[in-house]
């Protein structure tokens, strides 16, 4: 069956035809593609067309699709049982491997998604501090837990305005939204409300509304103010964990959070999430402490096996250095393709995260993104689909470089981008 046939069937049985909204291609021209198989950095749709994939399942496939070692580990685990609902050796092994890479934490608990990790971390922060207010920033997405679905307004902060239907205002009354890249606003908020703040949660490299790389001063201010006022600092590293470096964002920034949330890469392509902190903080979680959290599939042995194989391979000498080289090569190629064709564009990159914005400088806040330029991204997306290159179906999303991408794949992609730009003149 073709892409079109599957889409016709999907819209009858799935809301919007999809199981996650951005997959519906509402931000780009055309209808969604349906994929039947993937290997390395390439996948094939139901029409039999092959694409170079720069979306990589929204980041988890840092080794590429269908990595042989990850598959072998998952198959071995599956042969022993898909789920126990009881302790197993693999969750201990992955926890040990995780903490070896994250020495700023002492304990970790596994869950089944990034959203669940954030939800649990926020509950824990409130339980530890005895306070209610959580501070987040405009443009930072922390999953679809009710208290994080808050939109920002003008001024220093907005309290309690849900940005999704079905979320009662009371669920967000204790969530404050501040602008990114604005130390004075952060200082002013803490001066007035600091004794009520349980935690500040931030993507250390915000990557869900473009790639909004922050100044070191801003991230350090988050650390200093939370420490001063007795609040916790949470790094949401569901995207950046094991993506921007061997140990995530903390060593890159030189700022150590109190807690971190993780997912994507550490599941090797299987559903997984985790949150981590010191033993003192984690001792507040049940069964040791009063903060309750549980999950039937938490520590699922197949996901643990795939995650462990992934961490082992990404821990090899030179792995991240090679990703950095590839990312720099892709960035330079995209910048040249735009410049040569008279296209105003800035290519923002942090490690193997990459984002093209059709503006003359890199924005550091959500408000600095010119949404009217997303139409250009939509045209680029369609042009690249025609040329066998797959990007995320939204200009607000970042791209990802994997170990499976070769220099030839980068060159082919850059040539396709240049050809698409050239076709517009």
Would you give the DSSP letter of residue 103? T
pLDDT of residue 154: 32
Structural domain harbouring 112: 68-314
Please give the average per-residue pLDDT across 3-15, as a whole number: 97
CA distance 317 to 334: 28
Query: 201 forms bridges with which residues in the sheet?
Result: 234
Q: Of 288, 314, 340, which marks where a domain is finished? A: 314
CA distance 311 to 70: 10
CATH number where 144 lies = 3.40.640.10
Q: Look at residue 148 and tell me whether its pLDDT is greater than 70.
A: yes
pLDDT of residue 145: 77
CA angle 76, 265, 122 (to 5 degrees): 115
Give the range among 117-121, 163-167, 214-218, 314-318 with minimum mean pLDDT.
Answer: 163-167
pLDDT of residue 89: 97
Name the pTM for this structure: 0.94
Render pLDDT for 191-214 as a digit per residue (tens, 0 to 9): 999 999 999 999 999 998 899 999
Q: Which residues contact 397 (CB under 8 A, 6 or more apart)?
A: 22, 55, 58, 208, 355
Q: How do beta strands 346-350 and 35-39 pair?
A: unpaired
If asked whether residues 39 and 141 sit together in one domain, one would say no
Render pLDDT for 259-314 as a digit per residue (tens, 0 to 9): 999 999 999 999 999 999 999 999 999 999 999 999 999 999 999 999 999 999 99
Query: Any idea which residues carry the catalytic annotation?
Result: 141, 236, 264
Q: Structural domain tally of the chain? A: 2
Q: Of 286, 314, 342, which marks where a domain is finished? A: 314
pLDDT of residue 166: 74
Write the burial class of residue 223 (CB in 10 Å: 0-12 exposed, 13-18 middle, 19+ buried): middle
- Say if CB 391 and CB 334 are below 8 A apart: no
- Say if CB 413 and CB 407 are below 8 A apart: no
If asked whether residues 15 and 151 sit together in one domain, one would say no
If asked whether residues 49 and 127 sit together in one domain, one would say no
| Structure-block tokens of residue 339 | 């410049």
Question: CA dist 364 to 208, 257, 355, 361, Å?
Answer: 12, 21, 13, 10
- Phi and psi at 330, nearest 5°, equal -65, -45
Instruction: Establish whether the linkage from the previous residue to 287 is cis, with ω within 30° of 0.
Output: yes
Q: Of 314, 329, 345, which marks where a domain is finished? A: 314
Mean pLDDT in the chain?
94
CA distance 37 to 46: 9
If asked whether residues 18 and 111 sit together in one domain, one would say no
Q: Look at residue 161 and tell me whether its pLDDT is greater than 70.
A: no
CATH number where 324 lies = 3.90.1150.10
If asked whether residues 340 and 195 sit together in one domain, one would say no
CA distance 43 to 232: 42
Confidence of residue 331 (pLDDT cuts 50, 70, 90): very high
Please give the average per-residue pLDDT across 244-256, as a whole number: 95
If asked whether residues 50 and 90 sit together in one domain, one would say no
- Say if CB 35 and CB 46 are below 8 A apart: yes
Confidence of residue 151 (pLDDT cuts 50, 70, 90): low
DSSP states of 371-393: GGGHHHHHHHHHHHHHTTEE--S
If asked whether residues 53 and 103 sit together in one domain, one would say no
If asked whether residues 267 and 396 sit together in one domain, one would say no
Write the burial class of residue 191 (CB in 10 Å: 0-12 exposed, 13-18 middle, 19+ buried): exposed
């Amino acid at each position: 069956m073709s892409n079109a046939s599957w889409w016709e069937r999907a819209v009858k049985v799935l809301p919007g035809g999809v199981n996650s909204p951005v997959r519906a291609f509402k931000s780009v021209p055309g209808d969604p593609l349906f994929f039947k198989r993937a290997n390395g950095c390439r996948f094939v749709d139901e029409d039999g067309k092959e694409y170079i994939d720069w979306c990589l399942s929204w980041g988890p496939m840092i080794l590429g699709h269908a990595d042989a070692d990850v598959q072998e580990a998952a198959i071995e685990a599956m042969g022993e049982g898909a789920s126990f609902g009881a302790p197993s050796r693999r969750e201990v092994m992955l926890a040990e491997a995780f903490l070896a890479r994250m020495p700023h934490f002492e304990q970790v608990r596994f869950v089944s998604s990034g959203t669940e990790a954030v939800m649990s971390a926020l509950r824990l922060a409130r339980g530890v501090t005895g306070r209610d207010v959580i501070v987040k920033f405009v443009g930072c997405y922390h999953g679809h837990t009710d208290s994080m679905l808050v939109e920002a307004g003008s001024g220093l902060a907005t309290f309690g305005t849900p940005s999704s239907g079905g979320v009662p205002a009371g669920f967000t009354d204790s969530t404050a939204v501040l602008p990114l890249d604005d130390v004075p606003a952060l200082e002013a908020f803490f001066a007035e409300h600091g004794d009520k703040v349980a935690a500040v949660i931030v993507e250390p490299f915000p990557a869900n509304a473009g790639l909004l790389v922050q100044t070191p001063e801003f991230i350090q201010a988050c650390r200093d103010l939370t420490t001063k006022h007795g609040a916790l600092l949470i790094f949401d590293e569901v995207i950046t964990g094991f993506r921007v470096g061997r140990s995530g964002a903390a060593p890159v920034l030189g700022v150590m959070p109190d807690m971190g949330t993780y997912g994507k890469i550490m599941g090797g392509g299987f559903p997984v999430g985790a949150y981590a902190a010191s033993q003192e903080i984690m001792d507040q979680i049940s069964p040791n402490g009063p903060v309750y959290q549980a999950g039937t599939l938490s520590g699922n042995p197949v996901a643990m096996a795939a995650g462990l194989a992934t961490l082992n391979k990404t821990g090899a000498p030179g792995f991240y250095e090679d990703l950095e080289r590839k990312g720099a090569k892709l960035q330079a190629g995209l910048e040249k393709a735009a410049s040569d064709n008279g296209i105003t564009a800035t290519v923002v990159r942090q490690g193997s995260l990459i984002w093209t914005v059709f503006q003359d400088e890199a924005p550091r806040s959500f408000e600095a993104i010119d949404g009217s330029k997303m139409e250009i991204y939509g045209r680029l997306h369609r042009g690249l689909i025609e040329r066998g290159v797959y990007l995320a179906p939204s200009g607000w999303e970042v791209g990802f470089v994997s170990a499976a991408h070769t220099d030839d794949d980068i060159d082919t992609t850059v040539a396709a981008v240049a050809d698409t730009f050239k076709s517009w003149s």
